[in-house]
Amino acid sequence: MSTWLTELDADAVGPAAPGPLHAQLSALLRSHIVDGSLPVGADLPTEAELQAHFGVSRSVVRQALSSLTAEGLVRRGRGRGSVVAPRGEHHRLVQRLSGLSTQVPAVTTSVLALGPEHDEAAEARLGVRAVVGLRRLRRAEGEPIALIHTWLPESIGAGLTTAQLTDTSLHAVLRSTYGVSLVSGRRQVRAVSASGALAEALEVPDGSPVLLLEGTTLDRSGVPVETFRTWHRADRVVFDVDVVTDDGRAEVEPVPVPVPASAPVPVNDASREPGALPGEAGLDELARRARELAADLDGLARGRR
């Protein structure tokens, strides 16, 4: 029996838990695939092992595995059992203002809704009394990867059309249509679970983990132009973050450059620590230049007499 399987509680699937047995089993296997406990290419326990461990029928096991196969999480081959299927991951740099439409190749964008909305939180963040709501769905390789809900001031959003925003970037449209360039903002990321309409839109089971990215974006004058929430499928989208030091610069170790012993040490040697005294060769060079300067000054003084 698989070592991984022996570590699972046999009572995790049974009449005491809510839902059909096949749904319980598929949910359990799905969670371990998504969190990496069962990595890509790993062999799943055999049907017989799953039956024996959880005390369920073969039909329950087959229905659970069929569900995972339909979701693209599992591949089943005749004579070789079930394995965790490779999953296409789409990477997004969250510190960049550009979104999935520019960072993920061949992404498509459909507009689900566009029109006036009343949202007190969005109105407060944008500092306006009326906002336009925009809901879009982004797909990659034919499957949904993100649902976006954006709010814009009515003065900007009222002029936008569905045709303008289909399969394109909102920021690009704002720049070309209104001359508005979005240049700064603040982002937050949190993990939430999908349910109801959200789960249906992203085509994931109820309760599936999703990554919520939310924030407000400002123009060059520091005026808020958009506030948004974007729910990303956690099994398809990976957030990448560039790491820098506290002062915002990448930390790189200096590489020492060997200097021949015979080489003179310049007086303005930038490699010395501030306030450090030059070496012996540097002192000799400083004395020589001081003598030359004194001779030049003396010559100028004699010429003026």
Q: Of residues 285 and 228, which shows the higher confidence score?
A: 228
- Same domain as 157, residue 126: yes
Does residue 230 have a pLDDT over 90? yes
Question: By the 8 A CB rule, do 133 and 114 touch?
Answer: yes
Query: What's the mean pLDDT when you consider all of the chain?
Result: 79
Q: Are residues 95 and 80 in the same domain?
A: no
What pLDDT sits at residue 113?
96
Whole-number Å distance between alpha carbons of 154 and 118: 11
pLDDT higher than threshold 70 for residue 305: no
Same domain flag for 122 and 234: yes
Q: Within a 13 Å sphere around the CA of 43, how many CA atoms are in the beta-carbon half? A: 11
Determine, yes or no, domain membership for 281.
no
Residues 174-200 have a mean pLDDT of 90
Rounded Cα–Cα distance for residues 192 and 182 (Å): 27
User: The domain spanning residue 98 has which CATH number?
Assistant: 3.40.1410.10
Mean pLDDT, residues 176-189 taken together: 89
Which range marks the domain in which residue 49 is found? Answer: 3-84
Q: Name the most confidently modeled range: 25-34, 64-73, 179-188.
A: 179-188
Does the residue 52 lie in any domain?
Answer: yes
One domain, residues 53 and 160 = no
Mean pLDDT of 191-215: 91
Query: Rounded to two decimals, what is the model's pTM?
Result: 0.58
The CA angle 108-34-78, to the nearest 5 degrees, is 95
Q: What is the pLDDT of residue 110?
A: 94
Quote the DSSP letter at residue 115. Answer: E
Residue 303 lies in a domain: no
pLDDT at residue 128, rounded to an integer:
95
In a domain, 286, yes or no: no
Kindly state whether residue 104 falls inside one of the protein's structural domains.
yes
How many domains does the chain contain in total? Answer: 2
Alpha-carbon gap, residue 17 to 120, rounded angstroms: 40
Q: Give kind and range of the element (H or E) at residue 70.
A: helix 58-70
Q: Is there a single domain that holds both residue 10 and residue 41?
A: yes
- The residues, ordered by sequence, that sit 6+ positions from 142 with a Cβ below 8 Å of its Cβ are none
For residue 125, is pLDDT > 70? yes
d(CA 50, CA 10): 10
Question: Is residue 94 a part of any domain in this protein?
Answer: yes
User: Could you tell me if 99 and 191 lie in one domain?
Assistant: yes
Same domain, 108 and 202: yes
